[in-house]
Chains A and B, each alone.
Chain A
């Protein structure tokens, strides 16, 4: 589906402004934090001439010219950067902005990975667009190895009932169709909020208590100082939850589980270690 989308897009790109076969020093604009991370990890960070306000990783990304928030990118700002290549996302960016960029015959490539596998596809495609296929292959191999490591570690282990918390007040959990849901399952867990029909449900507190999660992954305070302390303070309200009783409340940065970039695979390893510490201790004494 993703490839079909890309294929449908390519012809319009070809018709676009000719920038020569492969520009040696392309001016790249990224319209999403995950794509910014990817450009940097493909060693093309120096060529980035525009990013969003949310692009905070790696730290160098913060020094790049900003074009606005994910949904509030200014068309004028994008054009003023005189880009050769624009990388965007179908779900993350405003459709009207993408249409305008296409109408101007700018070289826009959009991506919309929805699973871990599709993230690998995105990495391959972006590395091709940037002329960094070798580095892309290397990275994909590296990430696949991480995934295989986790799969091996949690194979046969009993899935652990868990939830991932985006916010306390109101209580918002990771529901079906999110990367967090995918990560929990792949890391050997069962997402207890998968029964909600929406991706980011305000979840019923009484249902949460009833379902007794054994692990709570709290990403609600990723940017705050003393997040660990605040989280344990919050969860101590419900001392009888198994996760709280057994001190299995883990605090993570929400960027790590929401951005469809290479760091998702690091989160996968981290989550597997939280859900199944025994599998990892056995391997590395």
Chain B
């Protein structure tokens, strides 16, 4: 592993952050409706948004339709990518992501329960339900996979598959018996989409994210040791089970919040960390924050495509990520097989 200098870390992250801003600007200024606003009108409309005053039609489209949606895409893409990078490190398998481990399935199930119980207009409790579902599923996975006090990779993956299938069945059961006014929205929600939520919802997502992101970035050094192998990590004095547990909880939180606000968007957590690893190397001090930034860029651009491709209708963004992600997964699988043979 090449040593990571402070200047390299900050210059790469700075560059990625600039690209993220660029992606949001692209999402802001491209759309089905032509926007003709000068700089001053733009600033004026933005001020109107901040003071919640009357806005022009163009201002509304920019700052109440496109901007919140782009920001949500950034948060969801970033959260899923960071969670994916963490899960890959934790179970030392490049094919892992929140979906394979059953965390998304558990979140999705609990979030649907939350949506049915809470009214359609109160979002706040839904991520809490989803988080409880994510925790329940990850602890179920850990309990099933734990063998003689350790978590072997194979049993962990198998347990994840089983738990995911189980919660998937519960989701389908719930969808089959739920009243029809909830049913279609749940189906679309299962396809994965980002929409123009209000800013308080986006703030709430950021708030729920904060502890998860802080914990995972704080554990970056431990992740590096874990990826060397569990035995050597323990020899180096890392309390590996405790770090793993914390990381699982934090990554579950990110997954749960992302799922509850956008449904099941696949492959982001798989693709983005891989591209980062191939480009910038495997050091988690860079990999984790870079995954978050690139996940945000990636999903913001995918959502832009989702809005434009069949206008005036829209595609669920999960369709775009899956179309890109499927071939990527196959390529990755072939590559890892070649390396083994």
Interface residues of A, Cβ cutoff 8 Å to B: 54, 166-172, 175, 193, 195-198, 201-207, 209-210, 220-224, 230, 233-234, 237-238, 240
Q: How far is the CA of A210 from the CA of B310 in the complex (A)?
A: 17
* Residue numbers in A under 8 Å from B119 (CB-CB): 230
Known: A206-B31, A207-B33. 7 other contacts (CB 8 A): A196-B312, A202-B188, A202-B316, A205-B65, A209-B33, A223-B179, A238-B60
Q: Which of B57, B195, B313 contacts A197 (CB 8 A)?
A: B313
Give the contact-size bracket for chain B: 20 to 34
Q: How far is the CA of A222 from the CA of B307 in the complex (A)?
A: 28
Q: Is A169 in contact with B66, judged by CB distance below 8 angstroms?
A: no
* Residue numbers in B under 8 Å from A198 (CB-CB): 310, 313
Interface residues of B, Cβ cutoff 8 Å to A: 31-33, 54-55, 57, 60-61, 64-66, 119-121, 179-181, 184-185, 188-189, 193, 195-196, 198, 307, 310-316
Instruction: Please count the residue pairs between chain A and chain B whose beta carbons lie under 8 angstroms apart in the complex.
Output: 91
* Residue numbers in A under 8 Å from B181 (CB-CB): 220-224
Q: Is B312 in contact with A201, judged by CB distance below 8 angstroms?
A: yes
CB distance from A221 to the nearest CB of B (A): 6
Q: Which of A170, A172, A204, A221 contacts B32 (CB 8 A)?
A: A204
- B35 nearest CB neighbor, chain A only: A206
A-B contact pairs, 27 of them (CB 8 A): A54-B180, A167-B184, A167-B185, A168-B120, A169-B185, A170-B195, A170-B316, A193-B312, A197-B310, A197-B313, A202-B313, A202-B315, A202-B316, A203-B314, A204-B32, A204-B311, A204-B312, A205-B65, A206-B32, A206-B33, A209-B57, A210-B61, A223-B181, A224-B181, A234-B121, A240-B54, A240-B55
Interface centre among A193, A201, A205, A209 (most CB of B within 10 A): A205
CB distance from B249 to the nearest CB of A (A): 29
| Given A166-B184, A167-B185, A233-B121; A203-B313 close (CB under 8 Å) | yes
* Residue numbers in A under 8 Å from B65 (CB-CB): 205-206, 209
The 6 A-B pairs with the shortest beta carbon distances in the complex, nearest first, are A201-B313, A207-B312, A206-B61, A210-B33, A223-B181, A202-B314
Q: Is A169 in contact with B60, judged by CB distance below 8 angstroms?
A: no
* Residue numbers in A under 8 Å from B66 (CB-CB): 206
* Residue numbers in A under 8 Å from B311 (CB-CB): 204, 207
- A237 nearest CB neighbor, chain B only: B198
Q: Which of A170, A201, A205 contacts B188 (CB 8 A)?
A: A170
Q: Is A172 in contact with B314, judged by CB distance below 8 angstroms?
A: no
* Residue numbers in A under 8 Å from B195 (CB-CB): 169-171, 205
* Residue numbers in A under 8 Å from B33 (CB-CB): 206-207, 209-210
* Residue numbers in A under 8 Å from B314 (CB-CB): 170, 201-204
* Residue numbers in A under 8 Å from B198 (CB-CB): 237
